Structure 1
Amino acid sequence: MSQNDLLRELLLLDSNEIKYSDKQLKIVEAAIETFSEKGFAASSTSEIAKKAGVAEGTIFRHYKTKKDLLLSIVTPLMAKLLGPVVAKDFVKEIFEVQYENFEQFIRNLAFNRYEFVKNHRTVVKILLQEISFHDELKEPYILLFQKHIYKDFQKTIRQFQDQGEVVMWPVNTIIRLIINTIAGTLLSMFLVLPDQNWDYDQEMEQTIDFLVKGLKG
């Protein structure tokens, strides 16, 4: 399934509160493509309209400003990708599993996020580009992580420390190192240097090996 097909599927998924017309879908899809390629600041509504095959005035009949268009895209899409239900599923898939060792945990976590970014890299790219400039995008996901994921993450790391598999550093430090390392690998492969000839599986295996050896107790 292409990125555009995945985006359309997400837009239409359980859209009880938002009903998209065909023109509106074209606008949103064109905006996603344009924001992803050029960034929010460098994108124009005239360019988005041209790409969507509609008049520029059609955009402003649906969205008062370009920022309203951005928020109307990212907020519902990321709610479906990172909302409470998805966060609970993530906790179940990652933290409610019996692992034989720390490597199994890191492998499950790393490849879970790898599949997520690979499948949704266009929207993730927009979010990462704009999250520092728009508090409306940042705050919900900080709260979501703190409420639904962080405690389980801490508990899991402490368990591996108790088993002697993970170095006895502060738990928050270990979580930071895990997140930064996995996120850095994914950002490099899919968003920063996507045109490089990456061997994705090898990069992920090396990332896992780096974390397991680097955090060994």
Structure 2
Amino acid sequence: MLKGTELKLFADTHALDGMTDKQVKILLAAIDVFAAKGYANASTKEIATEAGVAEGNIFSKFKSKRGLLNTIIQPVTKAIFPAVLTDFKEHQPLNPKFMTLHSFIEALVTDRVQFVRDNAAVLKIFVSEVLYSNEVRVELVKQFPESYWHNINQTLTQLKENHLMINWPNTEILKLMWAVVGGMVVGYLLFDQTLASQEITHIITALTKALAR
């Protein structure tokens, strides 16, 4: 069953704007069914039954099962950008909260861990489709805001200029961070691994040591 925090993701990104109560029920039912069975194994008939509506109601709003999936995925691409990076860029000189590399990585990782915990069912669908569908991966790249790449590049450059981070190309730094944090997230969402506090602390420590100047 979808948590209130996951519904908030859709409200905050205005994905529910203009939807009727019945259409919201269809969306929530699709999330439950996709998360439990996977997109490929789910049917619009099952979703309609879960939502307590006629199957035709799905097509009148969302057009198809793919349309439902896109409605679920789009808010994730808007919200996946870590809020901590925006906070970091809005303060010049370096935000006192991020005076060390460790404090920056800690804020970044804990921010995304909380996002994953709050939106587990939706993210399970998102990650599954990104891993197995080239079409979804292509669409994801298209939907990523230009500001994401701009902000994260500026953030990493500033950390290096302040002698806090190793002087590697930003692309290499991002690959390392995404590999470590992404592996943790995939394990939690798809393989029922834990997100225990000690494990998160170890990941933060490992990234800090790997990226320290």
TM-score, normalising length: structure 1: 0.79
CA RMSD between the two structures: 2.8
Partner amino acid for 2:86? K
Partner amino acid for 2:120? R
Partner amino acid for 2:4? D
Q: Percent identity?
A: 28
The one of 65, 86, 104 aligned to 1:92: 86
Aligned partner of 2:100 in structure 1 is: 101
Partner amino acid for 2:175? R
Aligned partner of 2:140 in structure 1 is: 138
Aligned partner of 2:180 in structure 1 is: 181
CA distance 1:27–1:169, change in 2 (3 Å): same
Partner amino acid for 1:138? L
Aligned partner of 2:191 in structure 1 is: 193
Task: Say whether the 8 Å CA contact 1:36–1:122 is kept in structure 2.
Answer: yes
CA distance 1:9–1:168, change in 2 (3 Å): closer
Q: How many residues align?
A: 205
Partner amino acid for 1:93? D
Aligned partner of 1:112 in structure 2 is: 111
Aligned partner of 2:150 in structure 1 is: 151
Q: Does 1:204 align with 2:181?
A: no
Aligned mates of 2:164, 2:59 — CA distance in 1: 57
Partner amino acid for 2:140? K
SS of equivalent residue, structure 1 residue 168: coil
CA distance 1:168–1:94, change in 2 (3 Å): same
CA distance 1:164–1:14, change in 2 (3 Å): closer
Task: Say whether the 8 Å CA contact 1:3–1:119 is kept in structure 2.
Answer: no
Aligned partner of 2:31 in structure 1 is: 32
Structure 1: state its 5+ residue gaps.
none
Aligned mates of 2:99, 2:11 — CA distance in 1: 40
Aligned mates of 1:15, 1:61 — CA distance in 2: 20
Aligned partner of 1:78 in structure 2 is: 76
Structure 2: state its 5+ residue gaps.
none
TM-score, normalising length: structure 2: 0.80
Task: Say whether the 8 Å CA contact 2:82–2:112 is kept in structure 1.
Answer: no
Aligned partner of 1:61 in structure 2 is: 60
Partner amino acid for 1:36? A
Task: Say whether the 8 Å CA contact 2:44–2:58 is kept in structure 1.
Answer: yes
SS of equivalent residue, structure 1 residue 149: helix
CA distance 1:11–1:104, change in 2 (3 Å): closer
CA distance 1:162–1:60, change in 2 (3 Å): closer
Aligned mates of 1:208, 1:16 — CA distance in 2: 33
